[in-house]
Amino acid sequence: MSQRTKIKELLASTQTGMDVTVKGWVRTFRNNQFIALNDGSTNNNIQIVVDFENTDVALLKRITTGAAISVVGELVASLGKGQSVEVKAKEIEILGDSDPEKYPLQPKKHSLEFLREIAHLRFRTNTFGAIFRVRNSLAFAVHQFFQEKGFVYLHTPIITASDAEGAGETFHVTNFDIANPPKTETGEIDYKQDFFGRATNLTVSGQLEGELGAMALSDIYTFGPTFRAENSNTTRHLAEFWMIEPEMAFYDIVDNMDLAEAMLKYVIKYALDNNKDDIEFLTQRLTEEEKQKPQNERSEMTLLEKLQFCLANDFERLTYTEAIEILRESTPNKKKKFQYPVEGWGTDLQSEHERYLVEKHFKKPVILTDYPKEIKSFYMRQNDDGKTVAAMDILFPGIGEIIGGSQREERLDKLEQRMDEIGIPKDELWWYLDTRRFGACPHAGFGLGFERLVLFVTGMGNIRDVIPFPRFPKNAEF
């Protein structure tokens, strides 16, 4: 196979006059003369100029939107507007035809809802090309950030017998014939006969196993898929999402916050530096989309400005108790504009509250700490007030919660007491408790919802548009 040059490289070329081979998918073919060709290496197309008078008519007819082609030609300075170079075609080969009558992606604007139904082809649009290149950069930057700090990438299991968050939202994993599972004498399903000899599920979080790693390797992180059977049909929830969970020995909650803030800034900066064209495109897309909204609902900043703002400013840090005071006194609460009115201390914050704090009150990312223990997980470290735990949630504009984390309860007696209080079986988590028996130390960690990060950086409005093949209630297509 002949060497081809990717379009990104060709468009950046300062040299012209040489023959090049370029391959890609036809976006448009204008006047039998100009092909806009894209190969996914960049949002920008390269223009192929066809000498139609000397080209077989049958071949011209096969240059249709969606077709895969290979072109050999001379790279020349472009006379047209919008590009500096173009390719004067000498040979065109059709690699894969695309029937223009049947091809679902027409060269026009399609709705995001329609594109979700053809998620197998939506990568070929400008918007989704940009999203998935940004997603790729963010993933790479996450690894680079932790690797530069000497963290160990730890692969925690996907299949597990524990429910780390204790929320009972797990997907079961079984090899039984579900119509006819073996039963015990008392009529219950006999998991002893199942593949793993016990009931198992897909992981909701790698945290508990991550803590085991940190208790020897010091600093670890996971980056893998997690699964939640919560029946949330929202623009912020998926049933399968990717989570990054660092866990650090000898960290307290302040160290934890510092690390989380530094990580978010690092990966956003990486995308800004490495995906300039994509972020510019997505900024324009969002600005166009917002023009459809009434003036008072449009954001004050463009996407690019929001990202730069996030890098330039310290996140606001305050306690849950302080946040509740602000919310209680807020205009929307007094005017009964919140769907869930903020009454007293102890209630969980809804996304409308989180977004009020971030978007209206502080107008910047916020880190909330020290939540009531009743609304947080069993493993969070209990504060001396007996009421709160050393939790931290990071809230982002347009998103709400992007990170959830805490300092962990390292004191065996306190941890066991909390597990008893809320009914977490200690015998099943004997291995977790062992790390509190042998060489326990202060430690902390957090979980970043990767898709929520991608939502923020791409300015998209629906989490189903930032993962290639979204999984949500009543949908597992592709």
Secondary structure element (H or E) that encloses residue 322, with its range: helix 320-328
404 binds Mg ion (CB under 5 A): yes
Q: Which is nearer to ligand 4AD, 205 or 388 (CB)?
A: 205
409 binds ligand 4AD (CB under 6 A): no
Closest distance of CB 420 from ligand 4AD, Å: 21
| Among ligand 4AD, Mg ion, none, residue 228 binds (CB under 5-8 Å by kind) | ligand 4AD
436 binds ligand 4AD (CB under 6 A): no
Pair 224, 171: CB distance under 8 Å: no
Q: Which of 213, 449, 459, 470 binds ligand 4AD (CB under 6 A)?
A: 449
Closest distance of CB 223 from ligand 4AD, Å: 12
Secondary structure element (H or E) that encloses residue 89, with its range: strand 85-96
Q: Which of 23, 122, 124, 237 binds ligand 4AD (CB under 6 A)?
A: 237
Among the candidate windows 88-96, 117-125, 256-264, 401-409, which touches Mg ion by CB under 5 A? 401-409
| Among ligand 4AD, Mg ion, none, residue 452 binds (CB under 5-8 Å by kind) | ligand 4AD
205 binds ligand 4AD (CB under 6 A): yes
73 binds ligand 4AD (CB under 6 A): no
Q: Which is nearer to ligand 4AD, 74 or 163 (CB)?
A: 163
354 binds ligand 4AD (CB under 6 A): no
367 binds ligand 4AD (CB under 6 A): no
CA distance 298 to 374: 37
397 binds ligand 4AD (CB under 6 A): no
CA distance 80 to 93: 24
Residues that contact ligand 4AD, how many (by CB under 6 A)? 22
Among the candidate windows 153-161, 300-308, 430-438, 440-448, which touches ligand 4AD by CB under 6 A? 440-448
| Among Mg ion, ligand 4AD, none, residue 164 binds (CB under 5-8 Å by kind) | ligand 4AD
Q: What 3-state DSSP class applies to 465?
A: helix
Q: Which of 365, 398, 445, 459 binds ligand 4AD (CB under 6 A)?
A: 445
Closest distance of CB 206 from ligand 4AD, Å: 8
CA distance 277 to 7: 14
Closest distance of CB 97 from ligand 4AD, Å: 39
Q: Which of 382, 383, 411, 396 is nearest to 260 (CA)?
A: 396
Angle between helices 276-290 and 126-148 (to 10 degrees): 130
Strands of 239-374 (E only): list them.
240-249, 316-319, 366-372
Q: Which is nearer to ligand 4AD, 184 or 233 (CB)?
A: 233
Q: What 3-state DSSP class applies to 33?
A: coil
Per-residue 3-state assignment (H helix, E strand, C coil) for 242-273: EEEEEEEECCCHHHHHHHHHHHHHHHHHHHHH
Q: For 429, what's the count of Cα atoms within 13 Å in the CB-facing half-sphere? A: 26
228 binds ligand 4AD (CB under 6 A): yes
Among the candidate windows 135-143, 187-195, 423-431, 439-447, which touches ligand 4AD by CB under 6 A? 439-447
451 binds ligand 4AD (CB under 6 A): yes
Closest distance of CB 281 from ligand 4AD, Å: 25
Q: What angle do CA 251, 255, 261 make, to 5 degrees?
A: 135
Closest distance of CB 363 from Mg ion, Å: 23
The side-by-side arrangement of strands in the sheet containing 240-249 is 152-153, 219-227, 240-249, 443-449, 400-407, 388-396, 366-372, 316-319
Among the candidate windows 38-46, 177-185, 230-238, 262-270, which touches ligand 4AD by CB under 6 A? 230-238
Buried b (16+ CB within 10 A) or exposed e, 397-409: bbbbbbbbbbbbb
Q: Which is nearer to ligand 4AD, 46 or 463 (CB)?
A: 463
CA distance 255 to 247: 11
Residues in the chain: 478
Q: Which of 3, 6, 15, 29 is nearest to 74 (CA)?
A: 15
CA distance 188 to 182: 8
Q: Which residues bind Mg ion (CB under 5 A)?
A: 404
Q: Which residues bind ligand 4AD (CB under 6 A)?
A: 164-165, 205, 207, 228, 230, 237-238, 241, 243, 245, 401-405, 445-447, 449, 451-452
